[in-house]
Amino acid sequence: MASSARASRCYFGYVRPVAEALPRPAFAARGVRIAAEALRSFFLPQFENLVFRRRPVANVDHPLDPLVPFDPSYVGKYSDFVRLWMGTFFKLDRLYGSRAEEGIAEFLDAIRSLYAEAGTVYKAVHSTTTRPSRNCNLHFAIIHAFDPHLECVPSLHVMLVVSNWLLASEIVEVQGIDRAEGLGPDEVLFWLGRLRAEALAITESILFVKQHSINCIGATLFYLKLRFPRFGDREAAAFMADLFSSGSIAPDTAEALRSTALGLCANLEKDFTRCPSRGWQGPILDFLRGYLD
């Protein structure tokens, strides 16, 4: 039982990962860079536009969004996205130690790059959705105070949690599933499965708390498929098939949401194929500008 609990653990708070990184200059410096990038590419563009209105804002609501009920109980899961990748950093370091230092440093670099890459869209066209104006509790009040809600596409929540699972899987493959300290191969696989499950749960939560549209998920899926070769058509379809599969919403609604996200992803892929020189940002920016017309 203790071994199973240890294998399934994905979260370690904030203090333990920070304490793990601080004595290691390679990790501590990268942690600072992540924080700086989050300010530069996520927070500052929003507040700048809130005050000076220098860039257009596209509302990307989809007609299916209201079929997902607003459920404040999901706000805790919604807020877990940073704790999740911090916990993954901590666990990878405990499983593989100094021999995986380079790979774990690359993991942190990848987290920083997600903020930077999302920012290339945010600094061109902002995006928003309709969210409840009232604050149901203190948690929502904090979110509404520090998130002007102008950077929905691509969704950093989805980018981070899916990338977290994929990046951890890559490190485990390189280091060896049978070389982890304290966990057997089956337990390591179980942990990676838990990371995938958390990615699904957090992705679902962004709709329940009305911080995103199903359009945000579809557009972000397009980015992730280009970013990770291992996340190809089959893997992405399998991930989406598990979205809302728990019965939290009506089956017909769940299927419509999945089909809509996959359909948008496919359309963006077609646009990218026609002119790949514009990068992944080109199709997404065209999609957003379509909502400005």
> How crowded is residue 49: how many other Cβ atoms within 10 Å of its Cβ?
19
pLDDT of residue 3: 55
On the question of pLDDT at 4 being above 70, the answer is no
Q: Which amino acid is at 107?
A: F
Mean pLDDT of the chain: 94
pLDDT of residue 1: 42
Peptide bond into 148 cis (omega under 30): no
pLDDT, one tens digit per residue, over 194-248 is 999 999 999 999 999 999 999 999 999 999 999 999 999 999 999 999 999 988 8
Rounded to 5 degrees, φ, ψ at 244 are: 60, 30
CA 171 to chain centre: 18
pLDDT of residue 137: 80
pLDDT, one tens digit per residue, over 125-162 is 999 999 887 777 888 888 888 889 999 999 999 999 99
Full-model pTM: 0.95
pLDDT, one tens digit per residue, over 27-57 is 999 999 999 999 999 999 999 999 999 899 9
How far is the CA of 109 from the CAs of 33, 36, 116, in angstroms?
A: 9, 12, 11
Angle at 97 between CA 96 and CA 98, to 5 degrees: 125
Which residue is listed with tokens 């997404």?
284
CA-CA distance, 117 to 149, in Å (whole number)?
A: 18
Angle at 148 between CA 198 and CA 44, to 5 degrees: 95
CA-CA distance, 89 to 96, in Å (whole number)?
A: 11
pLDDT, one tens digit per residue, over 179-206 is 999 899 999 999 999 999 999 999 999 9
Residues in the chain: 293
Is residue 10 a contact partner of residue 194, using CB atoms and an 8 Å limit? yes
What residues pair up with 57 in beta bridges, in sequence order? 126
Which residue is listed with tokens 């404040």?
72
